[in-house]
Amino acid sequence: MPETFFLPPWQAILVAYALCFFIQQKLTFLEGRFHLLDRMLECTFCIGFHAGWLTWLLIWAMVGNPPGGYLSVVVWALTSATACYILNTVLYWFEGAF
């Protein structure tokens, strides 16, 4: 029986948000290449979607089997997009409030 890998959902969300933040804030060499890419880098929902499937791939690489099956990558991506957007909005609100 293969060993199962358990990652609590809140940790997966934090990994996806960290990837989203890293792509948006730290990969500055992507800026100014293409107009569409510049607009996408400004959109937390868009980058959060890509961070979601990247997180799914990272977990798959660590475990050796896809978490939740192959079709769950879409659910991971959409959940990540929503969570990244909500977390980013809340953090911007806190930054403005203080």
Judge whether 84 and 20 are in contact, CB under 8 Å. Answer: yes
pLDDT at position 49 is: 95
Q: How far apart are CA 94 and CA 84, in angstroms?
A: 15
Write down the pLDDT at residue 53: 94
The CA-to-CA distance between both ends of the chain, in Å, stands at: 52
pTM: 0.81
- How much is the pLDDT for 19? 93
Return the domain boundaries, the chain. 39-64+72-98
pLDDT above 70 for 20: yes
pLDDT at 29 over 50: yes
pLDDT band at 90 (very low <50, low <70, confident <90, very high): very high
